[in-house]
Chain A
């Protein structure tokens, strides 16, 4: 177990990092062995990385209170006056509209994702029928491949769909809602599948004996029991869809000059960053970024336990 595995870890630089000193003779010392030094050492490194994470974020939020001259002059300049005019500018230049568009799409896509995802996951997890495994692996395989492989055909499919059903085409909320839902299904089904499996079947059986229908057993017995799993995957989908960039970039372009700009927040922010008009308004750009970041920060801090569990549990299964 020991030597062979060591050789395959590929961490030669750390291997002998002070591990092989001769043993201390006094038994009591073994417990505290290197503890104090290591403790200081670990706090040092951990604090350094924490600064590396928080530093740039605070610096950029500070930047939204500076003016252009201050931003360009030095990285260490301090805002000369504290005001929210950069935030107002960013909001009026489109961030406000993008914000509203994103909320509209997410309201639809999250509802659909959770409803369809939990229905599919439940049936696949709790019912035996021919083709069960095939459909399950079918869903899970979709999570393995990068989205942009499907972009070219997806773009034309939505374009053609738009000529038949106008409200489902490119640059339409309903179209994007369906696409978001479809691309969120693999992970949602995968996650909830294992969750529904882990639930005890006794309650369900009791309900069935009492004459409950399958549909009613799902909505009134299984869904309430699966609440914690549903919350985790819901938060995961909120973050994933809120931050989605590639799909709206391809599907939510203005189709003509009269077509309203329905950019999603991440996409709109990136557009603003690249527009020449914004090149001279860094405070506005930084303020826009702060606005886009705030809801994520709030969701994350309120639910960080579920977020961490939700995002990592898939890999630990």
Chain B
């Protein structure tokens, strides 16, 4: 049987592996090579310039600003999303009326999960159009409409949300949190349901309150899920391209006003497509690659108790 096995294994693997190497691995590797050249992208002409792109990169104030913004995303997004998701997951699973049967989830928790999770399946294009409507800078915008109705905002001077130099990036983060909470809620909720109910019942018999059970039982047992969520959110925070490029002002790929909501991805695309600096753009790609790599490795080391299947 053994001699029939090898052609079979080969036959099944050759097409997927070839396609994957050609279209995924090879481009990733090429990015490294191009980052050492002054290639414009338009011609086939390129010169090897060593690490010049990288030294230029770290003197480029626009890039350093973008890096800072990405780091801000890296801190705020996971924190906000995980806290909200944990809060809602706890409310869903342990928030219900308790009777003799012990702790129950709230009624309608299936409905809440379906609703909360929905934004996760929407395209960023839909999110972008949706929130361009919500963040509209005149009284026709949903958020301005609500704030005017509440009397917080003057009808003559509506807020400018995503175009605002200070709050623009926070508005983008709002969209990402809005769309992401449901996913992590379902994730944490599944993990919570795998915790045996008798642990809670034993704790409550011993006089523990719900809040206490959350911090002393649920949270420690969820810790691994939370760390995994952190990795996913950190990787998402390095992206955010589509929303920033379409929702913030700026002629090419947004990032405005005046680089105030610039992130590395928008800067990369602008240098590549608009400015014709393909080599420089690749150098940015490599920096993002290494930040992502370091983040993943650090997080995986922290979660090394898990069987790492990535």
* Chain A residues near B (Cβ < 8 Å): 1-2, 5-6, 9-11, 14-15, 17-21, 23, 30-36, 38-39, 41-43, 45-46, 49-50, 52-57, 59-60, 63, 71-76, 116-117, 119-120, 122-124, 127, 129, 135, 138-146, 148-154, 156-157, 178-179, 181-183, 185-186, 189-190, 194, 208, 213-215, 218, 239, 242-246, 265-267, 269-270, 273-274, 282, 285-286, 288-289, 292-293, 296-297, 299-301, 304, 307-308, 311-312, 315-317
Contacts and interface: CB of A to CB of B under 8 A. Distances in A.
Contacts of B130: 56-57, 60, 289
Interface string B93-123: 0011111101000100000111111111111
Interface in B283-310: 285-286, 288-289, 292-293, 296, 309-310
Interface string B121-149: 11111101111111000111110111011
Interface of B: 1, 4-6, 8-9, 11-13, 15-17, 19-20, 22-28, 30-31, 34, 41, 79, 83, 86-88, 91-92, 95-100, 102, 106, 112-126, 128-134, 138-142, 144-146, 148-149, 178, 181-183, 186-187, 190-191, 204-205, 207, 209-212, 214-216, 219-220, 223, 225, 228-229, 232, 235, 238-239, 241-242, 246, 265, 268-269, 272, 278, 281-282, 285-286, 288-289, 292-293, 296, 309-310
Nearest to B289: A149
Contacts of B118: 53, 297, 300
Contact of B24 (A41, A124, A150, A245): A150
A146 B238 contact: yes
Contacts of B215: 2, 6, 9, 15, 19
A187 to B, nearest CB: 11
A210 to B, nearest CB: 13
Q: What are the 8 closest A-B residue pairs judged by CB atoms, nearest first?
A: A75-B145, A42-B95, A19-B211, A243-B123, A42-B91, A153-B30, A150-B27, A182-B23
Contact of A74 (B99, B123, B128, B145): B145
Nearest to A289: B129
Contacts of B138: 72
A6 to B, nearest CB: 5
Given A50-B116, A56-B142, 9 more contacts: A2-B215, A46-B112, A50-B112, A53-B115, A129-B9, A152-B27, A269-B126, A312-B183, A312-B187
Contacts of A120: 12-13, 16-17
B74 to A, nearest CB: 13
What does DSSP make chain A's interface, helix, strand, loop or mixed?
helix
